[in-house]
């Protein structure tokens, strides 16, 4: 308490002293009264709490400027001239101030200024109350760091960035001084991860990067043994000293704190600062808490690295893994979205695996990759393993298409050596350019689509992705999903199209055609869904559903004692070649008690191309069970008249494209020959797609047995077919 302040009455001083007492149980409430008239704001009174807080004695405090406990940088123009000398509002004004104690500790305070007014006093005296919020601020900072680190975790941020963010926060918030924080974390093999403050000059950063870490670590280990708190202050000794030499003008002092786990040294945290600045005595417990967060990030980092190492290479080929490829390319193209993604595979891969085994297949891919690598145009190009039989390549060059051809040529020019044999290969490539509009995943998918396309083409082939193709594939995928739903919901129906005797014009049978009305009411036509269903294997289920419908129809007619007709069902090659195709058919017919003479199997003529012998066996087996077989779309593909003699077809269906042009003499001649030939071989002839009477008449004249087409009837529902048969009697 100051007895030399004449302006203050004893009463007031008592009250000020008690002001502290009232706050005893809270944070220290130091009270100071200062003269707001004087430019340097001299203190005229300070209570015992403030004196304790500042660590000076009373004589030192009284008369000194309120701002003599402040760092000059913190004066903020004398706190905006005590907030416009409060007088304007006379409201208390609250702010934050750092007090530097006699022992050079920095105490952060929340300060409230109030004017003191009492009668007959010419001077303006202000009162300032100080609350020590150092602990609270640090806790808030720790909590903030912890919260933001967790957030970064969840966003899968690079651990280096997380650590560097922690350092930056400390730089900004730890003390009012200009400090630079750097972090070194040691690995088991004494290599280190360095997070260097961005505040250092490039020279310093270069020097740090060159430093021999093992020297550093052994130095630290020695130094830390001597010090129970694991801190080293003023580390201007080797090997750190020269690191700061260049920045002497700025950071010429440093404190080093060890990060340790039990007794094991894990790393160091360095705070560099300038000698003319005051740095708070290091608060070890604060840093120990901070290091808990740093250690967690480090642990996470190591775990990531471990799993990363594991997924970095493809174990079979030793090439980069797809995962690695994606990461690398993502980095590159986020800077510059240019270049190409190619997928490449030897067409002979399966054969090579069949003959020489899996390892030979991998060896071939590795050899191709090596040849590609030697052709690499650009440092940035990357080759990785894509799937078992294909490689994926990123090329940054712009005239990819042209160069690709050249590269491919040199890839296949000379043979590969597999198990001591020389093997020539043909190559399929799918290429997709990288652009701003598509993600890397999309580019890879597009390259893959182009690749599938190129696999269908004979010989070496490079297929460039195009958007139309993408739309088609997109629609196909959509249809595929709808097919799955449609099968579940039994949305597929069989429509029947009558087949008529061209002589008598009487209905002699029907063809069952799949119709699909999807749940939104729209029809999807066979030309669209059959290819997708065939491609995805779903055709078998669809055809089973159609057969079932046909059998129910026949069963119902049989039950009602109505005449039965033969119905032809279409069988896709997949279904036809399925092992138990005939057995299932027989079982189904037995279930509905329908005789096999009422079911005809229509298969397209090129079925024999796949496996002539097998086709012949199945057709004979069908015949043995009493089923007739019909060769659909005859003349459309690679017709081989051989089939007619060697496969036991009961019927051929002359493709609509011939019937359409029956008025062309050449086409007419072909049709007539086919009909004659079939007649000679005792095979029935059916003309498909008859739309006009003239066509029907000509066909009848040349001895074609059966007609089918819109001229007679369009495909119709089963009820309509019943009605029609009823009307015809
Ligand atoms: P397809 O087996 O050659 O069937 C004949 C197609 O020609 C049917 O088309 C039929 O509606 C149509 N058509 C019949 N008469 C005429 C005519 O006078 N003029 C014209 N312009 N067209 C006529 P749809 O029903 O659209 O079937 C197309 C193709 O889809 C069929 O050709 C067949 O290859 C396939 N398909 C239909 N259902 C099935 C099935 O259950 N399984 C399999 N694998 N394929 C089926
Ligand atoms: Ca057909
Ligand atoms: Ca046909």
> 344 Cβ partners below 8 Å, 6+ apart?
368, 372, 390, 391, 392, 393, 427, 428, 429, 430, 451
Q: DSSP code of 42?
A: B
Q: Whose CA is nearest to atom 10 of ligand 1?
A: 715
Angle at 394 between CA 389 and CA 395, to 5 degrees: 130
Confidence tier at 190 by pLDDT (50, 70, 90): low
Q: What is the mean pLDDT of the chain?
A: 83
**CB of 657 sitting under 6 A from ligand 1:** no
Nearest residue to 532 via CA among 457, 490, 479: 479
List pLDDT tens digits, range 466-515: 877 778 878 888 899 999 999 999 999 999 999 999 999 999 999 999 99
Alpha-carbon distance values, 110 to 18, 97, 113 (Å):
19, 6, 10
For residue 4, what pLDDT is reported?
A: 46
CB of 498 within 6 A of ligand 1: the answer is: no
Q: Say what the pLDDT of residue 441 is.
A: 92
Cis peptide before 239 (omega within 30 of 0): yes
Q: Does residue 48 or residue 586 have the better pLDDT?
A: 586
Closest ligand 1 atom to the C-alpha of 715?
11
Q: What does the angle CA 184 – CA 188 – CA 190 come to, to the nearest 5 degrees? A: 60
Dist CA 168 CA 160 (whole Å): 12
CB 601 within 8 A of CB 650: no
Do β-strands 231-233 and 382-387 pair in parallel, antiparallel, or remain unpaired? unpaired
Mutational test site, ligand 1, from 517, 570, 655, 662, max ligand atoms within 8 Å of CB: 570
CB burial class (10 A; 0-12, 13-18, 19+) of residue 316? middle
**531 CB within 6 A, ligand 1:** no
Position 6 pLDDT exceeds 60: no
Distance 157 CA to ligand 3 centre (A): 60
Q: Distance, CA 632 to ligand 2 centroid (Å)? A: 6
Q: Per residue in 195-239, pLDDT tens? A: 888 877 777 777 667 766 666 667 666 666 665 555 555 554 444
The ligand placed nearest to the CA atom of residue 547 is 1
Ion ligand 3, residue ranges at CB < 5 A: 632-633, 688
| Residue 660 Cβ contacting ligand 1 at under 6 Å | no
Q: Is 381 left (phi over 0), alpha (psi -120 to 50) or beta?
A: beta
Question: Ligand 1 pocket, 346 CB below 6 A?
Answer: no
User: Which pLDDT score is estimated for 1?
Assistant: 41
Predicted local distance difference test score (pLDDT) of residue 690: 98
Which ligand is nearest the CA of 548, by number?
A: 1
Question: How far is Cα 510 from Cα 546, in angstroms, rounded to an integer?
Answer: 13
Residue 432 has pLDDT above 70, yes or no: yes
Ligand 1 center from residue 513 Cα (angstroms): 6
Mean pLDDT, range 333-354, rounded to an integer: 89
Strand partners, 716: 496
Give the bridge partners for 462, in sequence order: 429
Whole-number Å distance, alpha carbon 570 to ligand 2 midpoint, is 5
Is there an atom of ligand 1 within 6 Å of 710 CB? Answer: yes
Which ligand is closest to the CA of 513, given by its number? 1
Assess whether the C-beta atom of 456 lies below 6 angstroms from ligand 1.
no
Q: Which tokens belong to 468?
A: 């139309």
* Residue having the nearest C-alpha atom to atom 21 of ligand 1: 689
Q: Whose CA is nearest to atom 40 of ligand 1?
A: 570
Does position 60 have pLDDT exceeding 70, yes or no?
yes
The pLDDT value recorded for residue 71 is 55
Chain position carrying tokens 């054969």 = 351
Spacing, Cα 444 to ligand 1 middle (Å): 37
Say what the pLDDT of residue 646 is.
84
State if residue 527 touches ligand 1 by the CB under 6 angstroms criterion. yes
Residues 415-430, mean pLDDT to the nearest whole number: 91
Ligand 1 within 6 A of 659 CB? no
Nearest CA to ligand 1 atom 19: 689
Please tell me the number of the ligand nearest to residue 659's CA: 1
Please name every residue paired with 513 in a beta bridge, in sequence order, or none if there are none: 495
Please spell the DSSP secondary structure of 209-254, one letter per residue. Answer: HHS-HHHHHHHHHHHHHT-TT-EEE---STTTHHHHHTTTTT--EE
Inter-CA distances, 269 with 145, 224, 578, Å? 16, 13, 70
State in Å: Cα 657 to ligand 1 middle: 13
Is residue 54 within 8 A of residue 61, CB to CB? The reply is yes
**Highest mean predicted confidence (pLDDT) among 298-302, 432-436, 662-666:** 662-666
What is the band of 639 on the pLDDT scale with cuts at 50, 70, 90?
low
Structure confidence at residue 34 (pLDDT): 82
Ligand closest to Cα of 633 equals: 3
CA nearest neighbour of 181 among 202, 157, 154, 163:
163
State how far the Cα of 699 lies from the Cα of 682, in Å rounded to an integer: 17
Comparing 40-54, 112-126, 180-194, 257-271, which segment has the lowest mean pLDDT? Answer: 112-126
Instruction: Say if residue 191's pLDDT is above 70.
Output: no
- Quickly state the pLDDT bin for 42 (edges 50, 70, 90): confident
Atom in ligand 1 nearest the alpha carbon of residue 525? 26
pLDDT for 272 equals 80
How many angstroms does the Cα of residue 364 sit away from the middle of ligand 1? 45
Q: Which atom of ligand 1 is nearest to the CA of 569?
A: 41
Give helix 526-536 / helix 467-488 axis angle, nearest 10°. Answer: 80
Number of H helices, E strands in the chain: 27, 26
The Cα 562–Cα 410 span in angstroms is 71
Is the beta carbon of 572 within 6 A of some atom in ligand 1? yes
Q: How confident is the model at residue 411 (pLDDT cuts 50, 70, 90)?
A: confident
Structural domains of the chain, with CATH: 10-132 (3.30.450.20), 138-309 (3.30.450.40), 322-465 (3.30.70.270), 539-728 (3.20.20.450)
By percentage, how much of the chain surpasses pLDDT 70?
A: 81
689: helix, strand or coil: coil
Indicate the pLDDT class of residue 573, thresholds 50, 70 and 90.
very high
* Ligand 1 pocket, residue 526 CB under 6 Å: yes
CA 584, 590, 592, 594 torsion-angle sign: positive
Cα 615 to middle of ligand 3, angstroms: 19
Cα(724) to ligand 3 centroid in Å equals 23
- Tell me which of 486, 526, 713 to substitute to probe ligand 1's pocket, judged by most ligand atoms within 8 Å of the beta carbon: 526
∠ CA 158-160-161, rounded to 5°: 70
Contact 644, 683 (CB under 8 A): yes
Task: Give me 9's structure tokens.
Answer: 């009455």
Residue with CA at minimum distance from ligand 1 atom 15: 709
pLDDT per residue as tens digits for the range 7-25: 677 777 777 776 654 454 4
- The residue whose CB lies within 8 Å of the most ligand 1 atoms, and thus the one to mutate among 491, 495, 513, is 513
């Amino acid at each position: 308490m100051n007895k030399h302040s004449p302006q203050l009455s004893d009463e007031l001083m008592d009250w000020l002293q008690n002001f502290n007492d009232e706050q005893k149980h809270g944070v220290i409430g130091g009270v100071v009264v200062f003269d707001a008239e004087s430019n340097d704001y001299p203190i005229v009174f300070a209570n015992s709490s403030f004196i304790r807080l500042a660590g000076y004695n009373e004589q030192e405090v009284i008369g000194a400027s309120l701002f003599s406990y402040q760092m000059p940088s913190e004066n903020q123009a004398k706190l905006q001239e005590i907030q416009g000398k409060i007088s304007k509002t006379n409201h208390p004004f609250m702010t934050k101030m750092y007090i530097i104690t006699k022992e050079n500790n920095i105490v952060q305070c929340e300060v409230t200024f109030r004017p003191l007014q009492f009668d007959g006093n010419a001077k303006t005296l202000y009162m300032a109350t100080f609350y020590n919020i150092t602990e609270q601020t640090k806790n808030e900072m720790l909590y903030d760091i912890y919260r933001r680190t967790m957030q970064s975790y969840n966003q899968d941020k690079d651990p280096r960035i997380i650590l560097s963010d922690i350092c930056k926060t400390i730089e900004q918030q730890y003390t009012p001084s200009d400090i630079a924080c750097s972090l070194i974390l040691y690995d088991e093999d004494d290599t280190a991860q360095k997070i260097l403050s961005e505040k250092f000059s490039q020279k310093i950063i270069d020097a740090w990067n060159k430093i021999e870490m093992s020297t550093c670590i052994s130095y630290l280990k020695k130094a830390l043994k001597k010090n129970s708190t694991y801190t080293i202050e003023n580390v201007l000794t080797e090997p750190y000293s020269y690191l700061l030499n260049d920045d002497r003008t700025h950071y010429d002092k440093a404190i080093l704190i060890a990060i340790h786990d039990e007794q094991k040294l894990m790393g160091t945290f360095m705070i560099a600062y300038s000698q003319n600045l005051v740095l708070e005595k290091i608060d070890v417990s604060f840093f120990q808490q901070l290091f808990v967060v740093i250690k967690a990030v480090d642990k996470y980092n190591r775990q990531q690295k471990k799993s990363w190492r594991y997924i970095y290479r493809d174990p079979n080929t030793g090439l980069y893994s797809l995962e690695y490829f994606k990461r690398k390319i993502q980095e590159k193209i986020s800077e510059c979205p240019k270049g190409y993604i190619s997928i490449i595979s030897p067409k002979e891969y399966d054969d090579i695996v069949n003959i020489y085994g899996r390892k030979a297949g991998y060896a071939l891919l590795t050899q191709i990759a090596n040849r590609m690598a030697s052709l690499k145009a650009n440092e940035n190009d990357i080759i990785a393993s894509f799937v078992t039989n294909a490689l994926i390549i990123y090329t940054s060059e712009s005239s990819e298409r042209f160069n690709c051809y050249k590269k491919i040529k040199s890839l296949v020019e000379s043979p590969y050596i597999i198990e001591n044999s020389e093997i020539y290969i043909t190559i399929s490539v799918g290429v997709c350019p990288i652009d701003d509009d598509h993600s890397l995943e999309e580019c890879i998918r597009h390259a893959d689509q182009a690749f599938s396309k190129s696999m269908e083409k004979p010989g070496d082939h490079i297929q460039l992705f195009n958007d139309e193709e993408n739309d088609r594939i997109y629609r196909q995928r959509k249809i595929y999903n709808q097919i799955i739903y449609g099968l579940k919901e039994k949305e597929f129906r069989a429509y029947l199209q009558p087949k008529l005797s061209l002589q008598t014009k009487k209905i002699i049978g029907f063809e069952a055609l799949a119709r699909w009305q999807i749940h939104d009411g729209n029809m999807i036509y066979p030309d669209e869904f059959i290819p997708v269903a065939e491609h995805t294997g779903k055709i078998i289920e669809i055809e089973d559903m159609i057969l079932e419908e046909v059998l129910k129809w026949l069963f119902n007619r049989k039950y009602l004692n109505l005449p039965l007709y033969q119905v032809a069902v279409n069988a896709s090659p997949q279904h036809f070649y399925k092992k138990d195709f005939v057995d299932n058919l027989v079982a189904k017919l037995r279930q509905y008690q329908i005789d096999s003479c009422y079911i005809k199997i229509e298969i397209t003529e090129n079925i024999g191309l796949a496996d002539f012998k097998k086709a012949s066996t199945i057709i004979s087996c069908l015949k043995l069970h009493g089923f007739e077989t019909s060769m659909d779309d005859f003349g459309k593909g690679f017709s081989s008249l051989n089939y007619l003699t060697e496969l036991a077809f009961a019927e051929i269906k002359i493709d609509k494209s011939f019937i359409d042009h029956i008025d062309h003499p050449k086409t007419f001649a072909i049709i007539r020959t086919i009909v004659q030939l079939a007649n000679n071989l005792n095979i029935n002839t059916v003309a498909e797609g008859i739309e006009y009477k003239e066509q029907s008449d000509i066909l009848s004249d040349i001895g074609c047995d059966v007609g089918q087409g819109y001229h007679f009837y369009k495909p119709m529902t089963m009820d309509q077919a019943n009605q029609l048969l009823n009307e015809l009697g």
